[in-house]
Amino acid sequence: MSVYSNVGISAIEVYFPTRRVKQEDFEEADKRSKGNYTIGLGQIKMAFTGPEEDVISFSKTVVQRLLEKNAVDIQKVGRIEVGTETIVDHSKSIKTYLMEHFLGNPFIEGCDTYNACYGATSALFNAVDYTRLYGKYSIVVASDIAIYGGPSLDARHTGGAGAVAMLITPNAPLVVDLDRKVMSAHVYDFHKPNTSIEFPYVEGKLSTDCYLQALALTHQGIKQLHSSQGKTFSMSNYDYQIFHAPFNKMIMKAHAFLTQLDADQTKTDPTTDLSTIVIPDPKSMTELVKQTKQSFDEKVGPSTLVPRLIGNSYTATLFMSLASILHTEPEEKLNGKSVFCFSYGSGLIAAIWSVKINKGSDEFPLSKLIHNLSNIQTLLDSEIVTTVPEFEAVMKAREDQLNLTHQPFNKNSPQPKDALIYATENPGPVIGSGVFYLKEITHDLRRTYVRKE
Amino acid sequence: MSVYSNVGISAIEVYFPTRRVKQEDFEEADKRSKGNYTIGLGQIKMAFTGPEEDVISFSKTVVQRLLEKNAVDIQKVGRIEVGTETIVDHSKSIKTYLMEHFLGNPFIEGCDTYNACYGATSALFNAVDYTRLYGKYSIVVASDIAIYGGPSLDARHTGGAGAVAMLITPNAPLVVDLDRKVMSAHVYDFHKPNTSIEFPYVEGKLSTDCYLQALALTHQGIKQLHSSQGKTFSMSNYDYQIFHAPFNKMIMKAHAFLTQLDADQTKTDPTTDLSTIVIPDPKSMTELVKQTKQSFDEKVGPSTLVPRLIGNSYTATLFMSLASILHTEPEEKLNGKSVFCFSYGSGLIAAIWSVKINKGSDEFPLSKLIHNLSNIQTLLDSEIVTTVPEFEAVMKAREDQLNLTHQPFNKNSPQPKDALIYATENPGPVIGSGVFYLKEITHDLRRTYVRKE
């Protein structure tokens, strides 16, 4: 059994929609005090989209652009994995829609993987392990539309939307380390149990507590793992840190808490029970965040560019953070650096893993990976900023479309199966050039997509 | 990077519910001619369950029994993957519910994987690849409840329900071969796009055609793979054959078509387009099935025990077939044998893979794996046979429960979050001893489970 080495990320493609709301406008609309969302959460804007886009169109956009910009030989691709928590169909995977981009090579493994914001990390691990064993390329897609309403309406300003596609190959410029530590537990901190709506049920305080407790437990786990290998785990080994970013303040707290945990050299009995892990009280946390501001700015700051401007894109957020570092830091500074990664998905599951940056191979050099991320600035610049009432109207249109797909279907009704229940006549400026959008939904709920010229 | 060898299945646990309807009763109720379902589809009975069970309770039952019967050291488990197409939650995975069975070891990777009936095969590949690379044990769960109604009501007799859990370790008695061939394409043969109902949209003829075309294409692919390794692929290398079994006639056709394909030594240009693959016309197929009856009985027959008596348990069906062989064939005959496996999931994705049977290790001998499958007979015997109207009443109760979970949730309503919207007071004889059932659903849609003593 041959094993391929230095497997990791050789190309990244990012997409997020054009429409944005300013967090300061949400503050005003929600009658919150100034700074509540902008400083309290640390967010600037939130990206959102209407019924003309879904997680499938997002995925098609990033995959097609990934293939084109990197001239990927599709015959070398052996696996595609999609991570999402925006479920459009209870059976047919998004991955099957992506097969239209691989005509000529049907021999591609993989399907969709789900657990809140963690799905794409699981997809990445599956893909990396596959490429380690089989040598063929993999593609990992993270695609989500985070919308709050109904039971979680008061969290609507913490939404977001976007997708990332990553090419996984041997001898990659971003090598995913073999060592990783994952922990999981049964908790109802955030779930989507009403499958007739797009909205989650959220226990905000519980979820942020669980996030920090999971960080502490995986940190304990990776320390033990390194120790069992005769190595010493230390955060000082990492030049950058990325954390799953539901909002920016969360990762400031995560960074602060982790810094404290890592500095603590007292020998304590390891715990295996998440709920016994003590997290700092609010006052101590505020103090910790202050104390660690400089290292946050240095090690985490470069990762916050996209997430602060578009919000939480669930599975995609962590990879938006990774892309932000690569886009904002000078290339000569990146070569040789290590990135600490923390993934979190409610329900729950979390992982500490890491990436080592090198100059890559002739086929996939680091310079090309970085160059191809230059469209991040284009995406950021091509924003259409809307008012809160405009945002609400678009959300209503999404909900109306969803409800149309929940109408009872009568096989014997006079309406033909291919009659349209939804159509995007002209997507207008909200869809950029080269972006896929949802063209039609038929009476039997088939979706067709078109790429805007 | 170390790689562990002879990774495969070391233990299997099977569960399916007690309630059954006879296919002959469906024939009468549906005013079909006698034999239409029993001979036409080759099915005997169909298992089903009411609102007191779901795919989570199924999964808990098989995992807990797997752990107990095999005295699994939970510290050795590093991954759990669940395959299903019965989506109860759009965010929280079934895997997180299973963490309650691993208290003391939170460090377990994996989440849920979806693509129609294929999810558990993808989960198996993920788990096997993980154990190959990391050496720790994995657990794979397949859990589904197949119900037809609404747009697919005329297929209601092709439902089924059940779950399988498998322990994956190195040096296993059922070694999963490294060689596998997967193909995938974008087709609407079966999907579940209305996420407010439990029912799929089915194009029956298209789906059975796609199944056979996917079989031909993966067969072409595995032949090429073996050829590239200097080996010759031949079905004569396999002692047993298992096929994803939506109904028994489907796998008789699959076996017949594959026998014809494998015998055909004419050199034809390989195709990569599923739709260009010609399948035998109905008359030729009937003839082929007749001609291959003897080899079907020998090589496929032993796998049909459970699927013919319980119906299509979607992701679990293929593993019910594998378990059926191990349960029905004499142990001394099994050692050294090879099993050809064909997985299919609509949408679509299919795989040819294989298993080699050996006597296993001291810890996980083949004899123990077989002995632990003896409860299959108990499960088959403990059936509660109902009439079609009784079946319809149970389906109505399931639908009522689902609709309760789709009620709008008002955070400010006087009803407390933990008020019950559903409770199973006394599950009665439909739940066997040692089986988990759904005890309650609260107003904020949390589910609790209890194990029947």
Rounded Cα distance, B42 and B65, in Å: 31
Chain A residues inside the 8 Å CB shell of B345: 111
Q: Is the ipTM value over 0.90, yes or no? A: yes
Mean pLDDT score across all residues of chain B? 96
Task: Judge whether residue A449 has pLDDT over 90.
Answer: yes
Chain B stretch 32-91, residues whose beta carbon is closer than 8 A to a beta carbon of chain A: 85-91
What pLDDT, on the 0 to 100 scale, is given for residue A1?
Answer: 52
**Which tens digits make up the pLDDT trace of A353-411?**
999 999 999 999 999 999 999 999 999 999 999 999 999 999 999 999 999 999 887 66
Minimum mean pLDDT among A228-242, B11-25, B216-230, B409-423: which range? B409-423
Chain B stretch 285-344, residues whose beta carbon is closer than 8 A to a beta carbon of chain A: none
**Which tens digits make up the pLDDT trace of B353-391?**
999 999 999 999 999 999 999 999 999 999 999 999 999
Selection from A183, A241, A257 nearest residue A217 by Cα: A183
Minimum mean pLDDT among A196-210, A408-422, A426-440, B93-107: which range? A408-422
Task: Judge whether residue A437 has pLDDT over 70.
Answer: yes
Rounded Cα distance, B104 and A344, in Å: 20
State percent of chain B over pLDDT 70: 98
Q: How confident is the model at residue A2 (pLDDT cuts 50, 70, 90)?
A: low
Domains and CATH numbers, chain A: 8-388 (3.40.47.10)
Task: Judge whether residue B30 has pLDDT over 60.
Answer: yes
Q: List phi, psi (to 5°) of B90.
A: -85, 0
Among A13, A27, A52, A85, the one annotated catalytic: A85
What pLDDT, on the 0 to 100 scale, is given for residue A266?
Answer: 77
Residue corresponding to tokens 């589910």: B447
Cα angle vertex A391, ends A387, A393, to 5°?
A: 115
The beta-carbon neighbor of B96 closest among A103, A150, A347 is A347
Residue pair B40/B27 in contact (Cβ under 8 Å)? The answer is no
Q: List phi, psi (to 5°) of B10.
A: -105, -15
Annotated active-site residue A244? The verdict is yes
Rounded Cα distance, A170 and A360, in Å: 10
The reply to whether residue A92 touches residue B185, judged by beta carbons under 8 angstroms, is: no
Chain A stretch 370-429, residues whose beta carbon is closer than 8 A to a beta carbon of chain B: 405-406, 408-409, 411
Rounded Cα distance, A182 and A178, in Å: 12
State percent of chain A over pLDDT 70: 98
- How much is the average pLDDT of A283-298? 98
Q: SS3 string of chain B?
A: CCCCCCCEEEEEEEECCCEEEEHHHHHHHCCCCCCCCCCCCCCCEEEECCCCCCHHHHHHHHHHHHHHHCCCCHHHEEEEEEECCCCCCCCCCHHHHHHHHHCCCCCCECCEEEECECHHHHHHHHHHHHHHHHCCEEEEEEEEEECCCHHHHHHHHHCEEEEEEEEEECCCCEEECCCCEEEECCCCCEECCCCCCCCCEECHHHHHHHHHHHHHHHHHHHHHHHHHCCCCCCHHHCCEEEECCCCHHHHHHHHHHHHHHHHCCCCCCCCCCHHHCCCCCHHHHHHHHHHCHHHHHHHHHHHHHHHHHHCCCHHHHHHHHHHHHHHHCCHHHHCCCEEEEEEEECCCEEEEEEEEECCECCCCEHHHHHHHHHHHHHHHHCCEEECHHHHHHHHHHHHHHHHHCCCCCCCCCCCCCCCEEEECCCCHHHCCCCCEEEEEEECCCCEEEEECC
Q: How confident is the model at residue A7 (pLDDT cuts 50, 70, 90)?
A: very high
State the smallest CA–CA distance between residue B282 and chain A in angstroms: 26
**Which tens digits make up the pLDDT trace of B133-143?**
999 999 999 99
Task: Judge whether residue A268 has pLDDT over 90.
Answer: no
**Which tens digits make up the pLDDT trace of B223-238?**
999 999 999 999 999 9
What pLDDT, on the 0 to 100 scale, is given for residue A163?
Answer: 98
Task: Judge whether residue A130 has pLDDT over 80.
Answer: yes
What pLDDT, on the 0 to 100 scale, is given for residue A408?
Answer: 80
Task: Judge whether residue B1 has pLDDT over 60.
Answer: no
What pLDDT, on the 0 to 100 scale, is given for residue B414?
Answer: 74
Q: Which two tokens stand for residue A366?
A: 């680091």
- How much is the average pLDDT of B446-453? 97
